[in-house]
Amino acid sequence: MSSSKFGQKVITFNGGIIDRVAPDRADPGFIETLAAAGTARMICFANDRALIDVEADPPQVYKTPLGDIERKGPVKRVLLGLEPSGDPLFAQFIEHDEEGKPTADLPASVKAIDLRSLATQDLVSVEEFGMLAYARSMLNWHATHQFCAYCGAPTHMVEGGDRRKCDTCTREHFPRTDPVVIIIVYQGDRCLMGRSKNFVEGMYSALAGFMEPGETLEDAARREVLEESGIHVGKVTYVLSQPWPFVSSLMIGLLGEALDDEINIDPHELEDARWFSREEAQSLLDGTHPEGLKAPNPFAIAHHLLLAYLQKT
């Protein structure tokens, strides 16, 4: 993890450095010029797997000239923007077999790796993780919004993928991000964490859930904690956020003060929830908990929320 130019901590998927060239996208000639540039490159996804040159030092996202690899499905090539070098960067889905392996003839050093595995291994730079999160979310949105939500007619990509437009009613549709509140609740020298049945064995994490219409961040966090654990929350403080490309969410990281301490979990939401002392919470991060319990991996915002709690005076 490193710091941004604003002094903020940069965690996995937060390192976006692409100039999205929003003011120029309305000009089709501008996009055509970028696509025709000899320096234009493309990053490719075989379903949810990104092409990575694993033998580069360090490993890096594999970028190919436009048109070198056949496109898969109805989603056209998406313009991401300009890299810091000024080179145009695009993204597209490519053909793959039933196991998700690309069918294109690729260098032996290039492997298709899913984003979660990449993040777990911390395989590429924070800047490239930001690029991948952006690309994967955009491609998925285009794949799942082929038809107009108003009239049901087909939609088509405009402005290089910045939006879609209905062929019949002409309404425009914009890429969406689903906001998720994620919160470490604390009371004095202990904090509350839970585990889902889908978690890896022994892992406890922050409580989280999607925001609902008409809610503030604080209201959503209080509701989620109450629904999942039975704990009422008072003061809520914002800590940091993280794009989460599984599939396209924004994790909004919070700390909250508990007003009571009797846990009553919703078994449909959680397998367990418990209070951890500061010493136990530190041992989760260190991997030394006496019961073999552990915190989420450093690529997850929950890991950094737990750190934020421990750093509170």
CATH 3.10.110.10 fits 178-310, yes or no: no
For residue 226, what are the contacts with CB-CB under 8 A and spacing of at least 6?
232, 233
Integer Cα distance of 5 and 8 in angstroms: 7
List average pLDDT for each run of 10 residues in the chain, which is 313 residues long.
45 88 93 95 94 95 92 90 96 90 92 93 92 94 95 96 96 95 96 95 97 97 98 97 91 98 95 96 96 94 96 79
Q: Are 207 and 277 in contact (CB under 8 A)?
A: no
What is the reported pLDDT for 246?
A: 86
Which CATH architecture fits 2-144? Alpha-Beta Complex (3.90)
pLDDT on residue 313 = 60
Delimiting residues of CATH 3.90.79.10 domain(s) in the chain: 178-310
Bridge partners, residue 46, by sequence: 49
CA dihedral 34, 145, 174, 126 (to 10 degrees): -60
What pLDDT score does 9 carry? 55
In this predicted structure, what is the pLDDT of residue 2? 44
pLDDT for the residue numbered 247? 82
Question: Kind of pairing, strands 272-277 and 190-195?
Answer: antiparallel
